[in-house]
Amino acid sequence: MARGASPPVLWSQRVAGERAGQAVRYLALNHPECGGSETLDPYHEAVHEAATREGWDGYMEALRNYMRAGRSVALAIRRGVA
């Protein structure tokens, strides 16, 4: 391990599920318009793929992208663009 580097964090399916639940709750509470949008399907798939690789960095980035996409969809609906 390089000097000053953090030790790797072990993958936990339970914690990953909690993080995914937090992301879904965030969207449901703040941007409910995006619920059921097919636009989010590729982002949902990316989260699933990242989970199968069991790496926190990629998984958390995929969740952030999912939430950003959900927000964008909701804002587009609110503006009447979608």
CA 75 to chain centre: 17
User: How far apart are the C-alpha atoms of 3 and 20, rounded to whole Å?
Assistant: 32
Residue 21, amino acid: G
Over the stretch 10-47, which tens digit does the pLDDT of each residue have? 899 999 999 999 999 999 999 999 998 999 999 999 99
| pLDDT tens sequence across 37-78 | 999 999 999 999 999 999 999 999 999 999 999 999 999 999
The pLDDT confidence band at residue 81, using thresholds 50, 70 and 90, is confident
d(CA 59, CA 64): 9
For the whole model, what pTM was predicted? 0.84
